[in-house]
Structure 1
Amino acid sequence: MSINSALMAGVSGLTSNAAAMAAISQNISNVNTVGYKRVQAEFSTLVNNQQQGVNYSAGGVMASTRNFISQLGQLQRTTNSTDLAIDGQGFFVTTEKAEGLDAGDARLFTRAGAFRVDDLGYLRNTAGLYLQGWPVDDDGNVALDPSDLNRLRSINVASVGGAAEATTRAQINANLKSSQAISAEAAAASTVPAGAGAYDPAANSMAQYDAVAGTGVKPDFAISLPVSDSKGGQRTLTLNLLKSAVPNQWYAEIVATPASDVVSGAPLADGQVKTGIIAFTQDGRLDTAAMAALGADALFADVADATLTFGASDAAAPGAGAVNWATDLGIDDQTVTLDLAAAAGGLTQYDSDSIVQAVITNGTPFGSLIGVEIDEQGFVTANFDNGVSRRIAQVALATFPSTDSLTSISGNAFRVSRDSGTYNLKAAGTGGAGLIAASQLEASTVDLSTEFTGLITTQRAYSASSKIITTADEMLAELINIKR
């Protein structure tokens, strides 16, 4: 009968408003939870089948919970470089374990980006979920796949270890004094036949110079070039220079210091790497045309291609004029390009004191990890105390056709549901996934003023539903008392 239906309608009102109170309580308790998405109870009517001429029968109300997962929270600045937020619709891909993943392990999606480096070096958020990304290969490339979760790996910054970079380029800014007195050895070398004690890069060289033993020829000037090898070890090359009796020309030898660092093929000896003549114009600049004309006698016939090539330590014995790193060093082959004619200076010959203004080389010695940075494209970069930066991985983001239909789970994360559609993996900044903001966190989308207002209205609605039940109960009591 209709009184009974009123009782049931009151009960449905109590149940639905209790569900609304639970949703509000969930929101308020997570007002400070990073990346939390508010939920809301939405009501819909229940109507019983009505027949003409029959008294009305109340159906009641039903509450269903709606997730506002697609609603974006405000980004807030932090001081931790591994705190991450997403300025867009993407989600971080995470797993519940860091290692030994297979196709059957669950992948969870979250916006809670408070990641920290754990004791094993993995990036893990406060819910214990491990951040996934595509690894970067040795060439700095990333193999992206929009649908294969198995290509992702837990990002580990501790596995990088140290880093070193071999020197590939050296720029020399130095001046050689044009009025440098010509030594007896250089003067003797200019006569035909050569005089006694004449400079000779093979028989009486600057590389052989030893003041105590009285051997070799003392350079007029020397320039040291620091070089980092493939292991980050520090090697030294020295450019020895001797003023020639020919105007605007200098004898030059590039030697390894100590000489034992290299193994040279004849006619090179005593640590020599390269020998020849450097020529200058009458206005003191490097004379590229004259050096090209000298050909094999020039230190570098083509100044634009002034390269020194070192074979690996385990390479075969060097041929004529070739150089290998010493066997006991155990290092890789290396090519160093010398910039002798830099626009800002280079090697010059002016009538001023011989002086080195600057020697600029790339390459670095071994360095230890000092920090991690993540850019807006999601590249995780390890920084070392020797100035080297190396990319480790790229953070993967996932998007869904129906974001609000994802299934919520504990840890402020979500699973794929039937209604959400399948995931699409994307790099940050592509396909609407959004950019990654480092040192920022997404705030909860809960608005306390809205929730407290909802508390009041829900409480009143619950009280009103209870009044329906008490009123219907009184009416039934009156009906029962008719029999008296």
Structure 2
Amino acid sequence: MLRSMYSGISGLRNFQTKLDVIGNNIANVNTYGFKKGRTIFKDLISQTVAGASAPGDARGGVNPKQVGLGSQIAAIDTLHTGGSTQFTGNTLDLAVAGDGFFQVMQGNETMYTRAGNFYMDSSGDIVDGDGRYVQGESGKITIPTTASSMSVGQDGTVYFVDLPQGGAAKIAAAEVALKGPAKTFEPFETALKDAEIVLKTNKADFKAAEVAWKKAAAGDQSIPAVKDATDAALLVKDAEAAKITAAEVKVVEAQLAYDGAKPAYDKAKNDFDKVMSDNKATLQEAGQIQMAKFSNPGGLEKTGGNLFRETANSGEVLTGVALQQGFGKVESGFLEMSNVDLAEEFTEMIVAQRGFQANTRIITTSDEILQELVNLKR
């Protein structure tokens, strides 16, 4: 009776562990990069009641007679099957299509993760949600904070668009050098434009006065009023002609001043344009994300925070870059979801629940039988 009771107790413990693993899987159904666990049972040692015997001339062989003493946990596996990918559109959300892990630094220790929700800190370094540096082939990857845009290729190369090194300082110096000549030149340019506008206006006014004079002159000059109107129109036309002459003088004076200041301005502007041309924003590389893989990823140790640690049974880490053999590829703008299948987990939960209930029945049945034995003595 006691053997069956203790067998039931071992079953209760094991199914409780299985439920714990299932509960953890379900709790992490929406955790990026999470890899589900699986509980495997095995039987305990069996007590031999009678050993096996070989067949003889008069009698055949006899199998051993054994009574099992319960079950135990054989393994709690981590299944590294790929999860589905979710589109986010965020450049630094990265998913690994295939095998391989991202590497992040936790102090002096390298940790491994499939959760690629990365960010850029105030210094331009690419980090995970807890500030651990994402590792590239040459250490951490830094993007200049002045960069106008960035992208990540399928091989893990991080690109950004920015001025060349020292370009901002050269542009600032060129702007200062242009400011003086431009300040001197702009009044002359404005004065010339204004004088040309006045001349154009005066010419238009003269043309209108000339038309009015010709119209008046076409009338009957023997009539005093017509003759007076013609004389008045002529005076207006002559006055407008005088204005044109004065405006032309202003244009010539403004043009001379403009021509005198323009060479210095042109030189400064050409120098500025050359500096701008030599320091255009270009596509540059910040580094390449380094990937890691293991001969036995199931041997990695979960440490929490979507991280794994190398163990004695995971095999030595192999490093490389995406698109190399066995390292998968990096998808920017996507995140890998958990590989937990809720339908499977709920089914396993039902099986574990029924298994737990069945083992409780073993204990209660054994207790009832013991009670019957005690009741024999009354």
Q: Which residue in 2 is equivalent to 1:41?
A: 39
The offset of 1:19, in angstroms, is: 0.7
Q: Distance between the aligned counterparts of 1:28 and 1:229, measured in 2?
A: 52
| 1:430 maps to 2:324 | yes
Candidates 110, 113, 130, aligned match of 1:110: 113
Change (3 A) 1:164 1:124: closer
Aligned counterpart in structure 2 of residue 413 of structure 1, from 307, 313, 327:
307
Relative contact order, higher structure (CA 8 A, sep 6+): 2
Gaps of 5+ in 2: 52-63, 149-161, 179-262
Select which of 1, 4, 9 maps to 2:2: 4
- The structural deviation recorded for 1:95 is 1.4
Counterparts of 2:264 and 2:292, CA distance in 1:
55
Q: Which runs of structure 2 are paired with 1:313-462 in the superposition (5 Å)?
A: 363-365=278-280, 387-462=281-356
> What is the rounded CA distance, in whole Å, between the counterparts of 2:367 and 2:130 in structure 1?
49
Q: Is 2:127 the counterpart of 1:124?
A: yes
Counterpart residue number, 2:17: 19
Return the letter of the residue paired with 2:76. Answer: T
1:85 — aligned with what? 95
Q: Distance in 1 between matches of 2:93 and 2:316?
A: 27
How far apart are residue 117 of structure 1 and its match? 1.8
- Aligned residue identity for 2:12: L
Q: Which amino acid aligns with 1:398?
A: A
| Letter paired with 1:156 | T
Q: Shift of residue 46 of structure 1? A: 1.6
Contact 1:164/1:231 (8 A) holds in 2: no
Partner of 1:154: 140
1:32 offset after TM fit, Å? 0.4
SS of equivalent residue, structure 2 residue 290: strand
Other-structure match for 2:68: 58
Normalised to the residue count of structure 1, the TM-score between the two structures is 0.49
Q: Does 2:84 match 1:74?
A: yes
- Write out per-residue CA displacement over residues 407-448 of structure 1, whole angstroms, 9 at most, x where no aligned residue: 111111101011110111101111210111001000110111
Deviation at 1:158, TM superposition (A): 4.4
Could you tell me how far apart the structure 1 residues matched to 2:45 and 2:267 are?
A: 97
Query: Is the CA contact (8 Å cut-off) linking 1:94 and 1:132 kept in structure 2?
Result: yes
Higher strand share: 1
- Mapped to 1, the partners of 2:353 and 2:168 lie a distance apart of 75
Percent of aligned positions that are identical: 31
- State the shift of 1:164 in Å: 2.9
Question: In the aligned structure 1, how far is the partner of 2:337 from the partner of 2:13?
Answer: 31
Supply the distance in 1 between the matched residues of 2:369 and 2:135 (Cα, whole angstroms): 63
Question: Distance in 2 between the 1:451 and 1:5 partners?
Answer: 32
RMSD: 3.2
Maintained 8 Å contact 1:127/1:412? no
Structure 1 CA distance for aligned equivalents of residues 312 and 297 of structure 2? 11
Three-state SS of the structure 2 residue aligned to 1:28 is helix
Inter-partner Cα distance in structure 2 for 1:229 and 1:470: 82
1:183-198 pair list within 5 angstroms: none
Q: Which residue of the partner structure matches residue 191 of structure 2?
A: none
1:391 and 1:427 map into 2 onto residues whose CA distance is 15
Shift of 1:57: 3.2
Instruction: State the number of aligned residues.
Output: 264
Greater share of helix: 2
Which AA in structure 1 matches 2:132? L
**CA offset digits 1:447-469 (Å, max 9, x no partner):** 11111111111111000011111
Distance in 1 between residues matched to 2:289 and 2:333, nearest whole Å: 15
